Amino acid sequence: MKKIINDPNEVVQDMAAGLIAAHPDELQQLPGTTVIAKSNAPIKNKVAIVSGGGSGHEPAHAGYVGKGMLDAAVAGEVFTSPTPDQIFEAIKAVDGGAGVCLVIKNYTGDVLNFEMAAELAEAEGIDVEKVVVNDDVAVDEESSRRGIAGTVLVHKVAGAKAEQGGTLKEVKAAAEKVVENVRSMGMALTPCTVPAAGTPSFQLGENEMEIGIGIHGESGIERKSITTADDIAKELTDRILDDFDFTGGDVAVMINGLGSTPEMELYIVNKQVQAILAEKGITVYTTFVGEYMTSLEMTGCSVTLLKLDDELKTLLNEPSQAPAFRS
Amino acid sequence: MKKIINDPNEVVQDMAAGLIAAHPDELQQLPGTTVIAKSNAPIKNKVAIVSGGGSGHEPAHAGYVGKGMLDAAVAGEVFTSPTPDQIFEAIKAVDGGAGVCLVIKNYTGDVLNFEMAAELAEAEGIDVEKVVVNDDVAVDEESSRRGIAGTVLVHKVAGAKAEQGGTLKEVKAAAEKVVENVRSMGMALTPCTVPAAGTPSFQLGENEMEIGIGIHGESGIERKSITTADDIAKELTDRILDDFDFTGGDVAVMINGLGSTPEMELYIVNKQVQAILAEKGITVYTTFVGEYMTSLEMTGCSVTLLKLDDELKTLLNEPSQAPAFRS
């Protein structure tokens, strides 16, 4: 295991401290937790957005804490859901009286723990709504679909709606509109190693890649020989287009690196994705290329498409001051 | 070689096309070149900033083209200096009559080719100034020091000065102030593979790291067993502090990932760098953590410190609309 870390069991605490040290004016770590919140939270009468999940997906989620996106992110251990009590602390810290919208990636542990935290908060009189993101079309059954890079667009839209003064119900509705209209699909060339485990969670042959892999290395739909960037981009994009009708509206495109893929390669993938969309008559409104939802040092990428209406366009365009998503 | 590419000899062209496809309104590719320029170039009476170098360091340099930073970036083949004629095309395309400042990383090929391009431009009546960045303290001899991540801060400051209406001499002076006050040092855990070569340019043992390595894999100052993030951060920071007196002024800190290092680990390094600076009584004015100057998929990081005066603080704070450096 080649990593730049100290104690493998302290990576999340060390990371949180380093993140706060980088952004001391904008971010705070809630004492005794690995919750990262805006330093000026709670903001009176603004709906607060809270997300989180296992660590190892940086900049998700703490990098998205900032004006215009999240009010707090709860960092679990690496690839492990945060506990309900930590999520509850986050909710309490950011509620400004207008309620809190939880953005949850669709994993059993996350859903359970965020739900338990929501119940604890509601028992204290805080209004809470939940939005579950399940954009990964590699899984056939919609209810089992994992939340991956599309989650970042949910953060952006929910955060912007809250910043505009939307009510809790309006913020939830905007976030759910993204969930309904966003689809993603990923692939990997190499596995990654959870620091406390010390060995890769799976193996891929020297010439192998896995299509449809999850952001924790969950099984994909096919393991096969590495092919060209154009073929990979086509396979991911076709699967997304087969799943949902993206015609008749503009789309946002996100080409997301999983950790070790050079930005050069993400742009090469983007070239082909855009060509496919152009051929299908699908108009691209905006494009994001970079590392938005990673899997430690996994090599690979995902493609995300979000179908836009006027409201979503406006919300995507609103400013964000989050360290990992400035616009 | 596990890469998401098409023809290994076309990666730069493919990347450029993908970059333009992602930012069609802000960027343009000059026909017949791999020069990326602002779509609204030239801007009349504004000093233009041009940088570039071998590809493989993305987002450097094309990701820094945008209002407030570069007017154009010239992308050579991977780890290979761009040719004088390409640089000349960039200069001609962005000169708005106020002259062009070239920001050059201190490598023999880059310096020679940018100088030749400058001569060609001057022969056509374009005022050109050159600034050579040599921030890598891993090399003892100052004149041989390589330009690494500190170059991005030169882009930022020069771009802001030009945006403020600075003359060519003023822009050059601001850029040179950064060069005089910036120092960096890097390390790597793994090598990287140039696509057209197909095999790693060097080897590191399973438990080895190299301190002081260059961004093309140039030899560092020591190869030894991997140690903790804290020790690595201390070794890099101490070497920088030994080289230049950072006391008595605020500093900007950049913790830069070389390509495959998870952001989590960069923040862990940042934690220790900030602790060392605090202990020395050096005040951190602003911190950048991320991938700014990479080496394809090399695993490793660099630490950069820039001593600031009031002018540099103001210029760092000016807005930038470059895709890879929004502020």
The 10s digit of each residue's pLDDT in A275-310 is 999 999 999 999 999 999 999 999 999 999 999 999
B287 with A3: Cβ contact below 8 A: no
Nearest to B16 by CA among B69, B79, B73, B91: B73
| Residue B273, phi then psi, degrees to nearest 5 | -60, -45
A267 with B4: Cβ contact below 8 A: no
Q: DSSP secondary-structure letter at A256?
A: E
Q: Which H or E run contains A317?
A: helix A310-317
Residue A170 has pLDDT above 90, yes or no: yes
SS3 A106: coil
Distance CA A64, CA A79 (A): 18
Q: How long a stretch of residues is chain A? A: 327
Residue B72 has pLDDT above 90, yes or no: yes
Span A31-50, pLDDT tens digits: 999 999 999 999 999 999 99
Q: Read off the pLDDT band of A143 (50, 70, 90).
A: very high
Question: Of B58, B189, B327, which has the smallest distance from its Cβ to A264's Cβ?
Answer: B58
Mean pLDDT (whole number) for A200-218: 95
The CATH-assigned architecture of domain B182-309 is: 2-Layer Sandwich (3.30)
Q: Read off the pLDDT band of A201 (50, 70, 90).
A: confident
How confident is the prediction for chain B on average, in pLDDT? 97
pLDDT of amino acid A93: 98
Q: Which H or E run contains B35?
A: strand B35-38
Nearest to A22 by CA among B220, B111, B290: B290
A57 is catalytic: yes
A327 with B326: Cβ contact below 8 A: yes
How confident is the prediction for chain A on average, in pLDDT? 97
Number of H helices and E strands in chain B, helices first, is 8, 14
pLDDT of amino acid B249: 87
More confident residue, A156 or B327: A156
Mean pLDDT (whole number) for B98-104: 98
**Which residue, chain included where needed, has tokens 């996350």?**
A110
The strand pairing partners of B102, in sequence order, are B50, B130
Question: Of A4, A270, A327, which has the smallest distance from its Cβ to B21's Cβ?
Answer: A270
Distance CA A65, CA A321 (A): 8
**Which chain A residues touch B260 with a CB distance below 8 Å?**
259-260, 297, 299
Q: Read off the pLDDT band of A248 (50, 70, 90).
A: confident
Query: Count of A–B CB contacts within 8 Å?
Result: 172
Burial status of residue B66 (CB atoms within 10 A of its CB: 0-12, 13-18, 19 or more): buried
Query: Which residue stretches of A150-214 are H helix?
Result: 150-163, 168-181
Task: Pick the residue from chain B with its C-alpha nearest to A255.
Answer: B22
pLDDT of amino acid A292: 98
Q: Which H or E run contains A319?
A: none
Catalytic residue positions of B?
57, 216
pLDDT of amino acid A327: 86
B89's tokens = 């095309």
Question: Of A55, A262, A264, which has the smallest distance from its Cβ to B264's Cβ?
Answer: A55
pLDDT of amino acid B267: 98
Burial status of residue A242 (CB atoms within 10 A of its CB: 0-12, 13-18, 19 or more): exposed
A259 with B259: Cβ contact below 8 A: no
A18 with B289: Cβ contact below 8 A: yes
Span A84-142, pLDDT tens digits: 999 999 999 999 999 999 999 999 999 999 999 999 999 999 999 999 999 999 999 98
Nearest chain A Cα distance for residue B15, angstroms: 5
pLDDT of amino acid B327: 86
Span B122-159, pLDDT tens digits: 999 999 999 999 999 999 998 999 999 999 999 999 99
Q: How long a stretch of residues is chain B? A: 327
Going from the C-alpha of B54 to that of each of B105, B107, B110, the distances in angstroms are 10, 10, 8
Going from the C-alpha of B304 to that of each of A309, B92, B123, B240, B252, the distances in angstroms are 43, 32, 37, 8, 8
Nearest chain A Cα distance for residue B127, angstroms: 33
Distance CA A127, CA A170 (A): 13
A276's tokens = 């496919």
A264 with B206: Cβ contact below 8 A: no
What lies within 8 Å, CB to CB, of B146 at 6+ separation is: B105, B106, B107, B134, B136, B138, B139, B214, B215, B218
B11 with A268: Cβ contact below 8 A: yes
Q: What is the DSSP string of A109-148?
A: HHHHHHHHHHHHHHHTT--EEEEEE--BTTSSSGGGPPP-
Mean pLDDT (whole number) for A58-62: 98
Q: DSSP secondary-structure letter at B9?
A: G
Q: What is the DSSP string of A21-61?
A: HH-TTTEEEPTTS-EEEETT---TTSPEEEEEEEESSTTTT
Question: Of B58, B206, B264, which has the smallest distance from its Cβ to A58's Cβ?
Answer: B264
Q: What is the pTM of this model?
A: 0.98
**Which chain B residues touch A270 with a CB distance below 8 Å?**
18-19, 21-22
Q: Which H or E run contains A184?
A: strand A182-188
Question: Of A228, A260, A287, which has the smallest distance from its Cβ to B22's Cβ?
Answer: A287
Domain boundaries, chain B: 8-181+316-326, 182-309
A155 is catalytic: no
What CATH superfamily classification does B8-181+316-326 receive? Dihydroxyacetone kinase; domain 1 (3.40.50.10440)
Nearest to A74 by CA among A119, A21, A32, A129: A32
Burial status of residue B1 (CB atoms within 10 A of its CB: 0-12, 13-18, 19 or more): middle
pLDDT of amino acid B129: 98
A262 with B296: Cβ contact below 8 A: yes
Number of H helices and E strands in chain A, helices first, is 8, 14
For testing the chain A interface, which of B213, B263, B285 should be mutated: the one with the most A CBs within 10 Å?
Answer: B263
Q: Which H or E run contains B11?
A: helix B11-22
B263 with A294: Cβ contact below 8 A: yes
Asked whether A131 and A172 are in contact (CB, 8 A), the reply is: yes
Mean pLDDT (whole number) for A169-174: 98
Span B287-313, pLDDT tens digits: 999 999 999 999 999 999 999 999 999
For testing the chain B interface, which of A1, A3, A4 should be mutated: the one with the most B CBs within 10 Å?
Answer: A4
Span B152-200, pLDDT tens digits: 999 999 999 999 999 999 999 999 999 999 999 999 999 999 999 999 9
